[in-house]
Structure 1
Amino acid sequence: MSAFTPEEIQAILWKAADKLRGSVDSAQYKELMLGLIFLKFVSDAFDEHRNKLAKELAEDGVSDDRIGVFLEDRDEYTGAHVFWVPETARWSWIAANAKSQGVGKLLDEAMDAVMRENASLAGVLPKVFNRDDISQQRVAELFDLITDTRFGSTEDMPAQVVLGEVYEYFLNVFARAEGKKGGEFYTPQSVVRLAVETLEPYNGRVYDPACGSGGMLVQASKFIEAHGGRGHKADIAVYGQEVNERTWRLAKMNLAIHGIDGNLAVRWGDTLADDKHPDLKADFVMANPPFNMRDWARDESDVRWQYGVPPRSNANFAWLQHAVSKLADRGTAAIVLANSSHSSPRVEAEIRQAMVEADLVACMVALPPQLFRMTQIPACLWFLTKDKSPPGCETPGRPARHNPFHRRQRNGRDG
């Protein structure tokens, strides 16, 4: 059976989501749906590689007995960047045993097995399918619908790209369904693209201190693929942190689906209170932190407050100064904040002035209202940089390290 296009998969899974509507809340069915999508993907990718391997070995004249040994050698899969899926976690095995053993129980056990066998997924996948408050009939119906969907490669797209598009589509769907709460894990794609395309992260370390479901980090990887090809994905290293456990899990799955070996720390945590990457110096910082956050973990002695201690009533300038503290000597940043951040009075005005006088602010971009589900107020993008001088010599054969904010000299004067 040939693989489905992203549009075909989206249509099938939208029908699947409709089966859950009303029986569980949107946050819960987000875990159910995205967890099942992920398990189906890793199982299909495993089967696809297994079939390819079997065909190659047969063509090389390898005996059936030896082929069987190779097909169960995990190194044959992990060496090709395919997740190892133990037999009882493979979709076909679950489908064959679901009626006799219970689909919810088998799905939870499968999630456990995949996490146990793949260190990068430890503690990430949801085990929510066999709970008392989840209808097992609904789970079985959902499982059957997804069984009819094949997440393999198409002529135009590798399986990873197909699933990546489907996963992002459903993140958007669930953000809409959750309304204001959806804004906690999802940044509109138009804003993400604007930030990434402006910073142009060709190579280096990319960091998001409020990463949500990982959209900024995924877009940075897509930028590399678009401008340098898939072979250049390793030109960037991605780091992030997220305060919400469920959202942290979504982000880990999102990066894994896109083939990104990112460092989101070993667990979730509040960046302003407990920085999980204390020694990181990034070439690019991108973030959409909570707007106008009150009662945040404020410590007046924190070394990050080089330009003034932010007020307890608003963390906007805590996020900006945290971003600055993470920048390498020639680093650049794009931070989404409420529009009021460029005109707020008193303490924030003093911090803003100090940052401008330190020549950290490259520019600001006003965004229209009603872009964000968490608020209808207009927002803006702060672009920061530690060095506005032109780029220096670059490594031959690699894209030039571009600084979009360097000063251009005209007739001996700043342009």
Structure 2
Amino acid sequence: MHDITQIEQRLWEAADQLRANSKLTATEYAMPILGLIFLRHAYNRFLAVREEVEATLPKRGGVPRPLAKDDFTRKSALFLREESRFDHLLNLPADRDRGQAIIDAMEAIEADYESLSGVLPKDYQIFDNDLLGRLLKIFNDGALRNASGDVFGRIYEYFLMKFAMEGAQDKGEFFTPPSLVRTIVNVIEPDHGTILDPACGSGGMFVQTGYFIEDRGRHTAEAVTFYGQEKTATTIRLAKMNLAVHGLEGDIREGNTFYEDAHELAGKCDFTMGNPPFNVDGVDAGKIKADPRLPFGLPGVNNKKEVSNGNYLWISYFYSYLSDTGRSGFVMSSQASSAGHGEKEVRRKLVETGHVDAMIAIRSNFFYTRTVPCELWFLNRAKPEHLRDKVLMIDARNIYRKVTRKIFDFSPEQLANLTAIVWLYRGQTDKYLALVGDYLAAVHRESALVRGALAAFEESLVALQGRVAAFGDTLAAAAGPADEGRGRLRDTLSELADAHAPFLADRDALHAAVAAWRKRYADIAPDNGAQLGARHAFDPIAEELRGMVKQVDHLVKLIGRAVEIADKELDARSSDAWDSRAINRLRKELDEKRREAVDQLKHAAYFHRQAAWLQGRFPEARLADVPGLVKLADRAEIAANDWSLTPGRYVGVAPPEVDEDFDFEEALREIHVELAGLNEEAAKLAEAIQCNFEGLGA
């Protein structure tokens, strides 16, 4: 995912250039392009699943039976006939009608999957044959051939956003970031029964639920039934395409949820989930005042007899669709949790039911199309009696990783740690201890690989160091113009030798410490005391790992400086003792071995840090109030705060933390990248302003 931005930009620029040349509008171009991404993604999944299926196919007379549709359905993938496979379309003869071939591919898929009937785009005859050939090549990009579902989800979202900016879609609010969906899924655990998303967009909630169920060794179609509602036919098509490419099905119907209840599921859902549009205004109060899905009444009506903000309508819908044991998780504007007037009254009534389970605050920049912060709401109509007057408040605004300059998300471990807090809240200590155990097992596994990574680095360093030292030995002793350069090379090689000796000593001490720790904690019991002991015992080793990273980088800088002095100041290329090709090869190899060694050192320290993050906050493996992170607020405290459900209002401010892994040079590089991006945006804006100015005849 580290270069996903470049992939997105490259794909968009190429596809948009073709659109410009085709004289098609964004609206005409959007669905066909998304259809090609659909085919590319479907083919990727087909290939991955086919390899798994073929390895286990029963044989008769040594011949495996043919592949069948059910083989792929069980693996959450589409079975593709030959004519629907991306490589078949890519390799068509130049004189073949590609538009008709793609239409045939779509129709073959629809013939095999009734749920997709009439859904897939088929308006490819509007494209020139050569143009289609170039589009197919664009989406045969090497990065996409090896892309996972998450990458395709990001690319889908990116294209939706770009087409939205071109006026093709309604605000681009189709795709909820996987991090937020996974958080919702992890908390409500939708593993059975009826699941409804009344604002389902492109179906991301259903897709992540499918992953959740499959990870537990069950078949999604056998465990749950998906129901969705959306107000536009185009979005419904996107949702069905998204489900189908993951081998899922759902009953998704068209309707404006403010006024229509297409499935009539009030009180019948085991789970509700969604990411509805925020802060919608102008909802006709007269049409909804008697709606049974609004058990707490209208949140507030203006003088136009309209509900001025639809947030609490959505909140009521998510609640009213639940059965007596149902759970709900949804994304909501951060304004809603402390809104006043009629909205506060609805919130008070909701809190008084005892069914508000948890609130998680999310910082800004988790969405492509919205930079505002948001909150995740969780409702549970089967809350245990001892938790009925309490709400779990989690402020996750300081928990994130940067994906790009503008987009943040949760790492898998950050997501797991947030989920662990919910486990402690529910008294599921065994799950918490299992997670900590997984982290310590990862420390055990990753620290064992440090020895090999450092040995490979050392071998590469010594080889290059020997080449440069040999060149230094051949330099004439006579004085001359190169004296100053010879002195710098000599000093640098001496500094390198001085740094190399303690590195070797520290390396050996690290290996001994790791070996002793791994032997002592080869089998850590799922007991909090045992886990605390193991983690504390590794604390000083983690410090040594971080110190070793700095030493490795320092050695590479010194040898790099020596090579530069020899090459640029001492005209090493003219010497028989200097083989430029060999030197360059060794430098490239050293850079690779440095990266591998540093990554391995960081991996071992990283998993230790995850265990330390949890144990440092919850040392007794029980939920506790942690300033700036979590607090279990009771109803009296919530009432005293105007029934606010804003986590930051309760958890307080966290004490400042020292980032042990802060890399000044990496931070400086990020600043330069951000500055370059801002300069590029400024140039584009200046160009647009100039064009508009000239268009006015000025």
TM-score, normalising length: structure 1: 0.74
Q: 1:287 is aligned with what amino acid?
A: G
Deviations 1:274-299 (A, max 9, x none): 22221362222111100011223642
Is it true that 1:305 corresponds to 2:297 in the alignment? no
Is the contact made by 1:46 and 1:77 (CA closer than 8 Å) also made in structure 2?
Answer: no
Q: 1:343 aligns with which of 338, 348, 365?
A: 338
Specify which of 248, 258, 272 is matched with residue 272 of structure 1.
258
Matched, 1:286 2:289: no
Match of 1:207 in 2: 196
**Contact between 2:325 and 2:380, CA under 8 Å: does it hold in 1?**
yes
Tell me the equivalent position of 2:362.
367
Return the alpha-carbon distance in structure 1 between the equivalents of residues 281 and 29 of structure 2.
Answer: 30
Q: 1:93-108 to 2 correspondence within 5 Å?
A: 94=89, 99-108=94-103
Contact 2:14 2:138 in 1 (8 A): no
Query: Could you say if the C-alpha distance between residues 167 and 244 of structure 1 is closer, same or farther in structure 2, counting changes exceeding 3 Å?
Result: farther
CA contact (8 A) 1:164 1:257 kept: no
Query: Deviating runs (4+, > 6 A) in structure 1?
Result: 6-14, 44-48, 50-59, 148-152, 402-408
Inter-CA distance 135–203: structure 2 relative to 1 (3 Å threshold)? same
- C-alpha spacing 1:404/1:278, structure 2 compared with 1 (3 Å): farther
| 1:296 lines up with 2:283 in the alignment | yes
Higher helix residue share = 2
Q: Secondary structure of the residue that 2:109 maps to in structure 1?
A: helix
Pick from 191, 214, 219 the counterpart of residue 208 of structure 2: 219
Residues 206 and 284, structure 1, Cα contact 8 Å, conserved in 2: yes
Tell me, in whole angstroms, the C-alpha distance in 1 between the residues paired with 2:223 and 2:162: 36
Q: Which runs of 5+ in 1 are unaligned?
A: 1-5, 155-161, 392-401, 409-413
Structure-2 residue corresponding to 1:168 = 153
Choose the corresponding residue for 2:231, options 243, 265, 280: 243
CA contact (8 A) 1:9 1:149 kept: no
* Matched-pair contact (CA < 8 Å) for 1:224–1:230: yes
Q: Residues 173-212 of structure 1: matches in 2 within 5 Å?
A: 173-175=158-160, 177=162, 183-212=172-201
**Whose relative contact order is higher, 1 or 2, with alpha carbons under 8 Å and at least 6 apart?**
1
CA distance in 1 between counterparts of 2:378 and 2:109 reads: 40
Could you give the per-residue CA deviations for residues 332-366 of structure 1, whole angstroms, max 9, x where no partner exists? Answer: 11221212212222222221222122223223222
**Residue of structure 2 aligned with 1:137, choices 130, 140, 147:** 130
2:227 partner SS: strand
Shift of 1:256: 1.7
TM-superposed deviation, 1:305: 1.4
Alignment check: 8 A CA contact 2:78 2:247 kept? no
Which range moved further: 11-20 or 352-361? 11-20
For the Cα contact (< 8 Å) 1:124–1:249, is it kept in 2?
yes
How many angstroms does 1:179 deviate by?
6.9
1:21 to partner: Cα distance: 1.6
Higher-Rg member (1/2): 2
**Cα distance, 1:45 vs. partner?**
6.6
Q: Is the 8 A contact 2:195 2:225 kept in 1?
A: yes
Equivalent AA in structure 2 for residue 211 of structure 1: C
Residue 185 of structure 1: how far off its partner (Å): 0.6
Is the contact made by 2:229 and 2:254 (CA closer than 8 Å) also made in structure 1?
Answer: yes
In 1, the alpha carbon distance for the partners of 2:222 and 2:206 equals 13
The TM-score, its normalising length taken from structure 2, stands at: 0.46
Task: Provide the aligned length of Structure 1 versus Structure 2.
Answer: 373
Distance in 1, Cα, partners of 2:363 & 2:5: 29
Cα deviation code 1:101-131 (max 9, x no counterpart): 4212321233233213320211221123222
Residue type of the alignment partner of 1:348 = E
RMSD between aligned alpha carbons? 4.0
Tell me, in whole angstroms, the C-alpha distance in 1 between the residues paired with 2:187 and 2:134.
45
Query: In structure 2, do the counterparts of structure 1 residues 38 and 7 end up closer, same or farther at CA, with 3 Å as the change threshold?
Result: farther
Matched, 1:329 2:330: no
Contact 2:12 2:159 in 1 (8 A): no
What code does the residue aligned with 1:259 have?
A: G
User: Cα 1:8–1:191, aligned 2, differ >3 Å: closer, same or farther?
Assistant: closer
Query: How far off is 1:320 after superposition?
Result: 0.9
Q: Using the alignment, how far apart are the partners of 1:363 and 1:150 within structure 2? A: 39
CA-CA distance at 1:323 after TM superposition: 0.8
Shift of 1:183: 4.5
